Structure 1
């Protein structure tokens, strides 16, 4: 904002010139040059002049009265002029101080407006959150109302992308940056993977284990579903897409359950985890699902987990942000909210047999 900055310095220039001119002897053969005093000295002068008290100015500026007195002394020495009359129990402005005060105040207000304008400009940008598809649908979106209530003015854009899953593409803007991303926008990613993303600020949210889930009506139907061996009579639902998981499948679940002789490839196959999830909700069969992503459905009774058997792996969900923007207010607000929400994800009981993927 060059124009605003120039106006701020002009105010201080006029203040200095008026103060010096009021005390200087004109000399047509000499040019008067000077440097602007430090901003802290000008702030101390304005506060002390407004309160007519070094003590009250110090309270406002969160410094000591001695520090204010020192800044005023530096300012007076740099100008070669007295700005205050130190009376026995009072403080008064000299004529030079009175001449200088209005323009100094105007200059400080101008700088404050410049800073406020910069903050307002930054807040106009969007917070663009790029997330794995199933995570967006089943975990993030159901919780976003709480964030919207806490941050009603934040311009949030959520984009689903498989590029946020390790093994599909590399981390960063080249992998998932929207084509219309603007300089004032803040791009963050929720990634599913190993957690090593050099050059980025990384917060681990929670891990992911995989459990068998189905509609409650399957528990009341025939054939019965009471012990893991009963799973051999159930329809197995498969996620054949990249989805939001890497590795575990029904063969691994049955190995942990100690059940053999099952055709783990039989049953409907779906192109992504979302379709397998809907099929399980509809009672078509049993799906192998990420526990954190079905937590809401389990809590609401729309799905049930018949057995305490879980396939565990090292991959986890992480919030990944470029170091250059991690301190932006919008990013910080989303980060704090997201970590609070993720910390509420208490891990459920896991079968003592570990998957090779967890080793």
Structure 2
């Protein structure tokens, strides 16, 4: 038979001992300071030992109190972790809405690393460019492009995007200066104004900014560039893997900062959910391996 003191008294002691303050312990446990004091005295009576030395407003642990705290804190930590794992299973998979190009070019090639770290967390992705106002519960998290201003949501920057021409190494050999872009096919994503803005930014004249085909997804633009169909105005964060592998190169050094960045967003109440916290930590770590401003 287990001889265990009342759980409420143990929680009161553990919180009070960690903070060395009954007031802060009361705030943590959402009770009154008097309730914490009463429960600690109840525990001391139950154990027959003095756990705290009270000197006016100063609170200190006795030697026995300190030893008891060292034993109890890991127990409460394990109970919390076990409860979180149970809650995670009850909650089901983590549902994430992702921009299609971000998913194709950047997220999916890295996803196996997350699975290796957290094989027990099931992920369900929804690839869409449509805006989600987070007022419904279809998703738990989202990866979106914008200015980071979503009312009521926690938003953390993954990367600031920049735009620069990219193409195959073979095609790059034909481009001695930005003016040579008039000799090749320009590849666009929509809306079809990126090339005009980049040419103005780089001070290039005599190039038809509207020439060439347009695609409704940035990943398709990069795919066409990889196939040698022309020069794409690449989003450098999304093109990072192609540039690192040498499938694409930057024929010119000028990179135009984009107003929008990529953001991880989720409702604030979900921040403590284990799956949300794990995916957030992993995603920020992966994004941090690349410069925010390429």
Using the size of structure 2 for normalisation, the TM-score is 0.72
Asked whether the 8 Å contact 1:214–1:305 carries over to 2, the reply is yes
Asked whether the 8 Å contact 2:162–2:293 carries over to 1, the reply is no
Q: 5+ residue gaps in structure 2?
A: 21-37, 50-74
Aligned-residue Cα RMSD (Å) equals: 3.5
1:137-176 aligned at under 5 Å gives the runs 137-163=104-130, 169=131, 171-174=133-136
Q: CA deviation at 1:75?
A: 5.6
Q: CA deviation at 1:272?
A: 2.3
Q: Give CA deviations for 1:25-44 in whole Å, capped at 9, x if unaligned.
A: xxxxxxxxxxx967215998
2:87 to 121, 124, 128: 121
Whole-angstrom distance in 2 between the partners of 1:343 and 1:113 = 32
For 1:211, the equivalent position in structure 2 comes to: 164
Whole-angstrom distance in 1 between the partners of 2:101 and 2:280 = 20
Q: CA deviation at 1:83?
A: 7.6
Give the secondary structure class of the aligned counterpart of 1:293: coil
Q: Give CA deviations for 1:36-70 in whole Å, capped at 9, x if unaligned.
A: 967215998xxxxxxxxxxxxx9xx9799xxxxx9
Q: Report how many residues are paired.
A: 247
1:157-306 aligned at under 5 Å gives the runs 157-163=124-130, 169=131, 171-174=133-136, 178=138, 187-220=140-173, 224-240=174-190, 248-306=193-251
Q: Give CA deviations for 1:261-298 in whole Å, capped at 9, x if unaligned.
A: 22211112223222222110000100111110000000
Asked whether the 8 Å contact 2:9–2:40 carries over to 1, the reply is no
Whole-angstrom distance in 2 between the partners of 1:219 and 1:114 = 57
Whole-angstrom distance in 2 between the partners of 1:314 and 1:43 = 50
- CA, structure 1 residues 259+116, in 2 after alignment: closer, same or farther (shift >3 Å)? closer
Q: CA deviation at 1:147?
A: 1.1
Give the secondary structure class of the aligned counterpart of 2:162: strand
- CA, structure 1 residues 289+39, in 2 after alignment: closer, same or farther (shift >3 Å)? same
For 2:252, the equivalent position in structure 1 comes to: 307
Whole-angstrom distance in 2 between the partners of 1:42 and 1:195 = 39
Larger gyration radius, structure 1 or structure 2:
1
Asked whether the 8 Å contact 2:159–2:293 carries over to 1, the reply is no
Whole-angstrom distance in 1 between the partners of 2:110 and 2:44 = 58
Q: Does residue 131 of structure 1 match 2:84?
A: no
Q: Give CA deviations for 1:79-99 in whole Å, capped at 9, x if unaligned.
A: xxx8869xxxxxxxxxxxxxx
- CA, structure 1 residues 219+117, in 2 after alignment: closer, same or farther (shift >3 Å)? closer
Whole-angstrom distance in 2 between the partners of 1:130 and 1:193 = 15
Q: Give CA deviations for 1:102-160 in whole Å, capped at 9, x if unaligned.
A: xxxxxxx9xx9899456413235211111111001101111111111111111111211
Give the secondary structure class of the aligned counterpart of 2:223: helix
Using the size of structure 1 for normalisation, the TM-score is 0.60
